[in-house]
Amino acid sequence: MRTAVVILNWNTEAYLKAFLPPLLESCPPDASVIVADNGSSDGSLELLALEFPQVRTIPIGENLGFTGGYNKALEQIEAEYFVLINSDILVCPGWLEPLVAYMDANPQCGVCGPKLHALVESEDGGYSRLDRFEYAGAAGGRLDFFGFPFCRGRVLQRTEADEGQYDNRQDVLWVSGACLMTRSSLWRRLGGLDARFFAHMEEIDYCWRAALAGYSVTVVPDSCVWHLGGGTLKPDSPFKLELNYRNNLLLLENNLPATVGAFRARLRILMRRLLDWVTAVVYLLTGKKDYARAVVRGHRGYRSLRHMGTPAAPGRARIAGYWKVCVILQSLLRGAGIFRYLKSYEDSYRGSR
């Protein structure tokens, strides 16, 4: 098998029923769809056995999160390429072939992904595809000076309509784990995902480690998929917020020293932590006590986990997609013009420092 397309499922029976058939129909003969189940209790395994007996399933038996689930599942799969894909992704025929072709033609590329468009529930109970980028990954991801993630086509909560402005193949810092292709050899070399993350930002950490190891991370806009999003944790979940604050600091701890040097990394992480505490105070003042507590818990978790990882070794002098800009400040100053500013910055600047 050349390509293993692997869904990690946890209690998303309805999404499997809706989105697994078009995924199966879209895959060429040298690709297989596999569902790894993270201990679902909603009837997902029964649905797979009854309606999709041709699909290989890997019952994990417990919820190990995105990181632990994929690490355990991919240990049991032999393929040249792995595709990590969410159960709430809608694909169309021809989405996979451009990704495989790009990897075949570019051996220096370790990770690639498609454009992500938004999928929304429609009034008739189905789903509608939008020509608007989706929050999770849009047209490829970057990090700003303080380590805040943003995307080509998404900054903070603002997304952009896709008018072909990002239809060039582009090296980025990360592509979304909602739909990500990687070489199995690189996956094993890097040890898979960092299990400490559990969920959220683990794909950013993986892509950054791949870049430091000398591989490119590329968005391939010849491929496009539609993502519903929020299928496991809702966008306003305090637990999701806690994971984001904790994991953002962990990924900086893992990779920033190897990118900018230990001294500058310490200063930037300190500044980032101070910004997080300012945010917690704002949450308190605006009556969002659960969010403020999430920041506190996230930082507590970071302090308990930070020394359990293995920092990346110093890599290439320049990492595509780690930018000097402060995206939050620029977004506040420029409003909807932030996208024009960042596109101009992209066209004129290549580098990480």
Q: Is 167 part of a structural domain of the chain?
A: no
Q: Is 298 part of a structural domain of the chain?
A: yes
**How far is Cα 327 from Cα 295, in angstroms, rounded to an integer?**
20
- Work out the pLDDT band at 352, boundaries 50, 70, 90: very low
- pLDDT at position 258 is 94
- In DSSP terms, 35 is beta-bridged to 7, 57
Least confident of 101-105, 269-273, 343-347: 343-347
Q: What is the pTM of this model?
A: 0.94
Name the nearest CA neighbour of 326 among 155, 209, 183: 155
In the predicted structure, residue 292 carries a pLDDT above the cut 90: yes
**How far is Cα 231 from Cα 311, in angstroms, rounded to an integer?**
31
Q: Is 29 part of a structural domain of the chain?
A: no
- Residue 267, domain extent: 238-319
- Work out the pLDDT band at 274, boundaries 50, 70, 90: very high
Longest CA span, the chain: 57
Q: Is 335 part of a structural domain of the chain?
A: no
Q: What does the CA dihedral 289, 247, 44, 23 come to, rounded to 10 degrees?
A: 120
Domains held by the chain: number = 1
Give the residue with greater pLDDT, 316 vs 109. Answer: 109
Least confident of 6-10, 87-91, 121-125, 211-215: 121-125
- Let me know: does 136 contact 199? Beta carbons within 8 Å: no
Q: Is 293 part of a structural domain of the chain?
A: yes
Spell out where 74-228 has E strands: 81-85, 89-90, 109-121, 127-133, 141-143, 149-151, 154-155, 158-159, 170-171, 179-183, 216-227
**How far is Cα 227 from Cα 134, in angstroms, rounded to an integer?**
7
- pLDDT at position 337 is 94
- Write phi, then psi, for 223 (nearest 5 degrees): -110, 140
- Interval 7-21: pLDDT, tens: 999 999 999 999 999
Least confident of 9-13, 157-161, 310-314: 310-314
Amino acid making up residue 267: L
Q: Is 261 part of a structural domain of the chain?
A: yes
Average pLDDT over residues 274-292: 96
Q: Is 66 part of a structural domain of the chain?
A: no
